[in-house]
Amino acid sequence: MSAVMITRKVRKWEKLPGKNTFCCDGRVMMARQKGVFYLTLFLIVGTCSLFFAFECPYLAVHLSPSVPVFAIVLFFFVIAMLLRTSFSDPGVLPRALPEEATFIEMEIEAANGNVPAGQRAPPRIRNVQINNQIVKLKYCYTCKIFRPPRASHCSICDNCVDRFDHHCPWVGNCVGKRNYRYFYMFTLSLSLLTIYIFTFDIVHVVMRSVDKGFLNTLKETPGTYPFRLWPHKQLLCG
Picking from 169, 182, 154, the residue whose alpha carbon sits closest to that of residue 37 is 169
Q: How far, in whole angstroms, is CA 35 from its chain's centroid?
A: 12
CA distance 50 to 45: 9
Other CB atoms within a 10 A radius of the CB of residue 86 amount to: 24
168 part of the active site: yes
The torsion region of residue 172 among left (phi > 0), alpha (psi -120 to 50) and beta comes to left
- C-alpha gyration radius of the chain: 27
User: What 3-state class would DSSP assign to 136?
Assistant: strand
Looking at 48, 157, 160, 168, which residue is catalytic? 168
Active site residues per annotation: 168
